[in-house]
């Protein structure tokens, strides 16, 4: 189903003041209709590892963007995950003024929808992905489809919808980065925080699996012939835990430890999972060097260490460009009577990938939601319309700053 753009007056005949009033009051928003449109995006199992469901969501979004005359290109990454979509109003463009990002997947496994589907009470809607981030996905589409024609003509916009954000965009990350590197601004429509804040910064993270292979020996008869994997592991824990620095926000956590077989055996195997969070990408680079050094120079002679970095997202923090973008968003909110507040958050998103490239990036431009990744996930109903209007007005105001 295609929804007709809801701009009530032809904008071109108006003075600037009338124009800004026209774009700020969208009389045609209908919550029931919105939720009806949201339903097929929620009531489909589309966890990252359910590519068929992600593909169905991609089909729905393709139809929507094609319905407003945009070109949609489908990208396959890996058969384990669903497709990605790139929708654009300027198929010939070599660069984009604005890149919008929204992921198609959720964290919920197959079978979830049969037990838990879209529902609502007076204040909130509930359901898998209702805030993270199907409503953000729908808000992006609606904001775009309601742009005044001259604004849409002036801007080259692309919307990238990826299938694997919830597993760290391990398949789509390079694709997103390559498009971001030829975009002026990146807007990510993950949900606004529960207090309404937008997201200006996200911590970086890295996760490692470390395995230690030593040599078993009888702990009573000939302990001197053993090489204790657990002793080396303990050396790693005590050494690296000293690197935690709450002040600058670098924290290390050994979250899993396994190893050994019996009290009277020198353990020949141990493993651990190390999780690092950081604000400062340089401090992480320093730590990575230290870890490499520990790998190459073990404290015990003869021990073998295997290190696998299983996930990595750089931190993104505001630069000069994103501070200008923040000011524009604040001003846009002010003109609508919406007080814009900001949060720097610990969890990652695709904003980490684009923001760390230095491309001005703001996240949290979806409606307000919370309890993500749990069966209590919710979407605040009366935030849908103002956040949709905010996103649309930000696009309009950005179009005025862009000169060629």
Tell me which residues touch Zn ion (CB under 5 A): 132-133, 190
Judged by CB, which is closer to Zn ion: 134, or 184?
Answer: 134
CB of 320 to Zn ion, least distance (A): 27
Closest separation in Å from C-beta 106 to Zn ion: 8
The distance of closest approach from Cβ of residue 161 to Zn ion in the complex, given in angstroms and rounded to an integer, is 12
Please report how close the Cβ of residue 102 comes to Zn ion at its closest, in angstroms: 8
Query: CB 195: neighbour CB atoms within 10 A?
Result: 9
Helix (H) or strand (E) segment spanning residue 317: none
* Smaller CB separation from Zn ion, 42 or 133: 133
Q: How far is the CB of 165 from Zn ion (least distance, A)?
A: 6
**What H or E segment, with its residue span, contains residue 380?**
strand 378-380
What is the enclosing helix (H) or strand (E) of 404? Answer: none
Q: In the numeric block, which tokens belong to residue 358?
A: 């230095």
Q: Which is nearer to Zn ion, 26 or 190 (CB)?
A: 190
Nearest to 365 by CA among 347, 392, 346: 392
Both tokens assigned to 178 = 């390559």
Q: Closest CB to Zn ion among 164 and 190? A: 190
Comparison of 175 and 254: residue with beta carbon closer to Zn ion: 175
Distance CA 181, CA 295 (A): 34
CA atoms within 13 A on the CB side of 333: 16
Pick the closest to residue 178 from 203, 198, 160 (CA basis): 160
Q: How far is the CB of 180 from Zn ion (least distance, A)?
A: 17
Q: Among all residues, whose Cβ is closest to Zn ion?
A: 132
φ and ψ of 87, to 5 deg: -110, 135
**Nearer to Zn ion (CB atom), residue 103 or residue 277:** 103
Place of tokens 């604005």: 98
* Cβ 187 vs Cβ 99: under 8 Å: yes
| Class of residue 19 by CB neighbours under 10 A (exposed 0-12, middle 13-18, buried 19+) | middle
Q: How far is the CB of 370 from Zn ion (least distance, A)?
A: 12
């Amino acid at each position: 189903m295609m929804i007709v753009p809801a701009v009530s007056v032809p904008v071109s005949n108006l003075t600037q003041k009338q124009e800004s009033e026209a774009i700020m009051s969208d009389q045609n928003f209908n919550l029931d209709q919105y939720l009806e449109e949201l339903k097929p995006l929620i009531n489909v199992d589309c966890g990252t590892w359910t590519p068929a469901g992600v593909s169905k969501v991609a089909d729905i979004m393709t139809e929507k963007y094609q319905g407003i005359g945009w070109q949609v290109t489908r990208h396959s990454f890996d058969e384990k995950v669903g497709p990605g979509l790139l929708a654009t109003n300027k198929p010939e463009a070599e660069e984009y003024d604005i890149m919008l990002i929204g992921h198609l997947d959720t964290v919920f496994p197959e079978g979830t929808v049969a037990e838990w589907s879209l529902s609502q009470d007076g204040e909130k809607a509930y359901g898998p992905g209702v805030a993270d981030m199907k409503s953000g996905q729908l808000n992006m589409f609606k904001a775009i489809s309601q742009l005044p024609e001259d604004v849409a003509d002036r801007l080259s916009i692309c919307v990238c919808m990826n299938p694997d954000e919830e597993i760290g965009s391990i398949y789509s990350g390079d694709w997103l980065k390559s498009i971001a590197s030829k975009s002026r601004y990146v807007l990510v429509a993950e949900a606004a925080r529960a207090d309404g804040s937008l997201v200006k910064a996200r911590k970086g993270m890295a996760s490692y699996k470390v395995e230690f292979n030593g040599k078993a020996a009888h702990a009573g008869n000939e302990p001197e012939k053993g090489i204790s994997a657990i002793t080396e592991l303990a050396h790693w824990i005590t050494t690296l835990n000293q690197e935690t620095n709450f002040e600058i926000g670098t924290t290390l956590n050994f979250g899993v430890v396994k190893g050994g077989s019996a009290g009277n055996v020198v353990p020949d195997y141990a493993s651990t999972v190390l999780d690092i969070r950081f604000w400062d990408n340089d401090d992480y680079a320093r730590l990575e060097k230290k870890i490499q050094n520990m790998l190459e120079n073990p404290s015990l002679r003869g021990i073998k260490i295997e290190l696998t970095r299983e996930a990595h997202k750089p931190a993104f923090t505001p630069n000069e460009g994103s501070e200008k973008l923040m000011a524009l968003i604040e001003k846009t909110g002010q003109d609508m009577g919406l007080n814009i507040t900001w949060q720097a958050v610990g969890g990652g998103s695709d904003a980490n990938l684009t923001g760390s490239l230095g491309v001005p990036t703001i996240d949290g431009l979806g409606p307000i939601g919370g309890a993500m990744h749990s069966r209590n996930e919710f979407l605040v109903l009366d935030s849908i319309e103002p956040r949709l209007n905010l996103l649309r007005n930000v696009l309009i105001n950005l179009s005025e700053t862009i000169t060629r």
